[in-house]
Amino acid sequence: MRIVAVTSCPTGIAHTYMAAEALEQAARAAGHEIKVETQGAAGAEPLPPQDIAAADAVVFAADVEVRDRERFAGKPLVQTSVKRAINDAPSLIAEAEAAAAPAAGGPVAHALSELGEVDREQLAMDTAARPETKVDQQAGLGTRLRQWLMTGVSYMIPFVAAGGILIALAFLLGGPEVANKVNGGTFQGVEYPGVSDLSRLVVEAGWAGLLFKIGATAFFMLVPILAGFIAYAMADRPGIVPGIVAGLLAGEIGAGFLGGLVGGLLAGAIVMAIKRVKVPRGVAGVMPVVVIPLVSTLVVGALMLVVIGQPIAAATDGLTNWLDSLSGTNAVLLGILLGLMMAFDMGGPVNKVAYAFGLASLASGNLEVMAAVMAAGMTPPLGLALASVVRKRLFTPAERQAGEAAWLLGASFITEGAIPFAAADPVRVIPSLMVGSAVTGALAMAFGNTSRAPHGGIWVIGLIGRPVPYLVAIVAGTLVTAGCVIAAKSVGRTAPAEAEAAVVPAGATPATG
Amino acid sequence: MAEVITADLVDLDLEAGDRHEATRKLAERLVAAGRVTDLDGFLADVRAREAQMPTGIEGGIGIPHARSAHVTEPTLGFGRSQRGVDFGAEDGPADLIFLIAAPEGGGAEHMTILASLARRLVHASFREALRQAPDPETVVNLVKKEVLGQ
């Protein structure tokens, strides 16, 4: 078995090293390979990412926070104090064996690297300068894809939490009309001009308006950060510029987080491709500072605007017209459809069409569509929050943190709270969300719920017609969402093709072995 | 670079009622050797570390230590106590006491020596040899041989 460990203590001159030595002795005595990173005063030599990727278990013997612990995300982990490692290292190693056992199937069989010599050198340089990404360069494409997405998601989650909670607080303090006070628009028949001069923000929209503006700004960066750090995981620092620009453009063309996800992958792939081009020595010097950022940003930007942007605009128009043509047909069917759309891309083009349809219906006096749309937009974060509590092992630590914030975000009809989960594992998560939201949309329609508010979630329950059935619809969708997510994540893991035991999220495997 | 430990810094018959007294007695040797400039200042730093979590570990070892501005060079003081001194380890008092003093902004090179010293302390054979050492010179040579490979 291969073990990696980190030891660290308050002063960093004694226990850190004693624990390291004790662990090394105990591991070798038990016939294991071990590498220890001592985060002490002599300076920490970071563990090579390859060793982390290859490890079957991770041991933290630390009395202070382990630095860059993100590197170990997804590994079976034993965590304890430095003293315990010094006093009783053998039993700690036994615990590491136990932790690794369910994930076993032996050491990870890596696909042979298809990289050439130059890339190997580049890889060595990259990994030295890049401690935070969790990418095992030798893994198969599917595994790497997942790791790229996870890296982007892990950088995005703080933005979701900060922005989402600020917006929710703004709703709580200032009522849901605060969104319209800041951005303009109509709420319950009152027309708000919006704040055009930010220096008058607090005067015109109050402190709640201030919270909303800050939260909305953090939210604005959500997709750019996702795309930027997906590209960063793929291509290191040169990936950040084209990735972030691709994410910003995804917002501009209304492509949502799925557009950003594609943009980030494109940006990373383009930079990787440019790096492969052999250039004369004279040009090599300006490659990283001028050529790579310039060319990659230009190419990915053009792709986003032309190749992706125009079809999305056309599809949006088509969907809108189609929904309009459905008005007046079976209400429950419409509820199902709106639910599916709300949960498909959480703020992306399909979601926006459904939401805009709700707004238009509201403006024309049909309050039922808005109620269904809002309820269906609340269940994705709520269902994921529930799933991450009920089946902790199926989620990474980062996702579980996102799950804690998702309760509030879901309750506030901030569907984006589900994005971290969906971006990390779209194939399993998005269909599950769609099923749950379809249930809620259908029930809200069947119950004849109405909403006079275009947003606000649970905080505008006073403006909802037949509130108790409305809550029933939301709870039902939440339960269905959680059930589907758990089922999808559990079933998917049993696939034998999943030879990535060592790199899937922490504890994702023990349930099914 | 001066030696990490010299015979002056070894007390094979350390008499102390508690960990503070044991630490003070060893620290006085460091002051006498010119390696610690301010006894009380240094002891305060050691106490601050000790207060975070006792430094005793199982197997009869106490390791009071600090990185302190009052330390001029990385130094090890060693004391052996017949009766033992409680350093908060779960299995009882410590008979081998290592006072590790590191300068505040010590370079990585200095720290590496202290790090390899700490690593040796885990080895039972090293502890046993220290218990058997007949005189301070033997202790100094043991540390040099085991830690510095000299």
**Residue B3 forms part of a structural domain:** no
B121 in contact with A, Cβ within 8 Å: yes
- What does the pLDDT average to over A185-200? 86
Q: Is B111 in Cβ contact with A13 (below 8 Å)?
A: yes
Q: Is A42 in Cβ contact with B118 (below 8 Å)?
A: no
Residues of chain A above pLDDT 90, percent = 40
pLDDT of residue A503: 34
Domain that holds residue B113: 9-148
Which candidate from B106, B108, B119 shows the least CB-CB separation from A18? B119
- What does the pLDDT average to over A472-482? 97
Question: Side chain identity at B127, as an amino acid letter?
Answer: R
- The CATH number given to whatever domain includes residue B91 is 3.40.930.10
pLDDT band, very low/low/confident/very high, at A6 (cuts 50, 70, 90): very high
Higher pLDDT pick, A68 / A180 = A180
Which candidate from A13, A25, A83 shows the least CB-CB separation from B118? A13
Q: Which residue of B has its CA nearest to A41?
A: B111
Q: Give first-to-last CA distance, chain A, whole Å.
A: 17
**Residue B140 forms part of a structural domain:** yes
pLDDT of residue B107: 64
**Residue B4 forms part of a structural domain:** no
Of these ranges, A41-45, A93-97, A104-108, A267-271, the one predicted with the greatest mean pLDDT is: A267-271
Global pTM value: 0.55
pLDDT of residue A347: 83
Weakest-pLDDT range from A91-105, A235-249, A307-321, A433-447: A91-105
Interface test with A, best of B55, B57, B61, B126 (most A CBs within 10 A): B57
pLDDT of residue A42: 65
If contacts are CB pairs under 8 Å, which of residues 22-81 in chain B contact chain A?
Answer: 49, 52-53, 55, 57-59, 63, 65-67
- The answer to whether residues B25 and B16 touch, using CB atoms and an 8 Å cutoff, is yes
**Residue B87 forms part of a structural domain:** yes
pLDDT of residue A288: 76
Question: Using one digit for the tens of pLDDT, what is the confidence trace for A386-397?
Answer: 999 999 889 888
Query: In chain B, how many domains are there?
Result: 1
Q: What is the mean pLDDT of chain A?
A: 83
Angle at which helix A141-174 crosses helix A222-235, to 10 degrees, equals 160
pLDDT of residue A496: 34
The structure tokens listed for A507 are 């504890």
- Give the contacts of A249 (CB within 8 A, at least 6 positions apart): A263, A301, A304, A305, A309
User: How high is the ipTM of this complex?
Assistant: 0.84
Interatomic CA distance for residues A220 and A216, integer angstroms:
6
Q: Where are the alpha helices (DSSP H) in B15-90?
A: 19-32, 39-52
Q: Is A18 in Cβ contact with B122 (below 8 Å)?
A: yes
- In angstroms, the separation between the Cα of residue B13 and the nearest Cα of chain A is 24
Q: Is B100 in Cβ contact with A13 (below 8 Å)?
A: yes
pLDDT of residue A415: 92
**Residue B1 forms part of a structural domain:** no
The structure tokens listed for A13 are 């001159």
Residues of B in contact with A21 (CB under 8 A): 118-120, 122-123
**The pLDDT of residue A498 is above 60:** no
Higher pLDDT pick, A260 / A10 = A260
Residues of A in contact with B55 (CB under 8 A): 14-15
Higher pLDDT pick, A191 / A267 = A267
Interatomic CA distance for residues A252 and A256, integer angstroms:
9
pLDDT band, very low/low/confident/very high, at B115 (cuts 50, 70, 90): confident
What secondary structure letter does DSSP report for B101? E
pLDDT of residue A102: 56
Weakest-pLDDT range from A165-169, A326-330, A467-471: A326-330
Residues of B in contact with A38 (CB under 8 A): 115
Q: Is A86 in Cβ contact with B115 (below 8 Å)?
A: no
Interface test with B, best of A7, A8, A13, A24 (most B CBs within 10 A): A13
If contacts are CB pairs under 8 Å, which of residues 354-383 in chain A contact chain B?
Answer: none
**DSSP class per residue in A295-359:** HHHHHHHHIIIIIIIHHHHHHHHHHHHHHHHHTTS-HHHHHHHHHHHHHHHSSSHHHHHHHHHHH
Q: Which residue of A has its CA nearest to B99?
A: A14
In order of start, what are the domains of chain A with their CATH numbers? 2-103 (3.40.50.2300)
Q: Is A17 in Cβ contact with B116 (below 8 Å)?
A: yes
Residues of chain B above pLDDT 70, percent = 93
pLDDT of residue A63: 81
pLDDT band, very low/low/confident/very high, at B79 (cuts 50, 70, 90): very high
Higher pLDDT pick, B4 / A304 = A304
**The pLDDT of residue A504 is above 60:** no
Question: Using one digit for the tens of pLDDT, what is the confidence trace for B2-53?
Answer: 678 899 999 999 988 888 999 999 999 999 999 999 999 999 989 988 887 7
Q: Is A21 in Cβ contact with B123 (below 8 Å)?
A: yes
pLDDT of residue A355: 92
**Residue B86 forms part of a structural domain:** yes
B144 in contact with A, Cβ within 8 Å: no
- Residue from A3, A5, A9, A354 carrying the catalytic annotation: A9
Weakest-pLDDT range from A212-221, A400-409, A502-511: A502-511
- What does the pLDDT average to over A278-304? 85
Residues of B in contact with A18 (CB under 8 A): 57, 118-119, 121-122
pLDDT of residue A43: 67
A80 in contact with B, Cβ within 8 Å: no
Provide the sign of the torsion angle of the four alpha carbons A196, A201, A205, A210, taken in this order. Answer: positive
- The answer to whether residues B27 and B11 touch, using CB atoms and an 8 Å cutoff, is no
For the question of residue A484 being annotated catalytic, the response is no
- The answer to whether residues A2 and A107 touch, using CB atoms and an 8 Å cutoff, is yes
- What does the pLDDT average to over A125-133? 40
- What does the pLDDT average to over A342-366? 89
pLDDT of residue A139: 61
Higher pLDDT pick, A419 / A494 = A419
Interatomic CA distance for residues A368 and A375, integer angstroms:
11
Question: Side chain identity at A96, as an amino acid letter?
Answer: A
- The answer to whether residues A411 and A457 touch, using CB atoms and an 8 Å cutoff, is yes
- What does the pLDDT average to over A468-478? 96
Higher pLDDT pick, A419 / A63 = A419
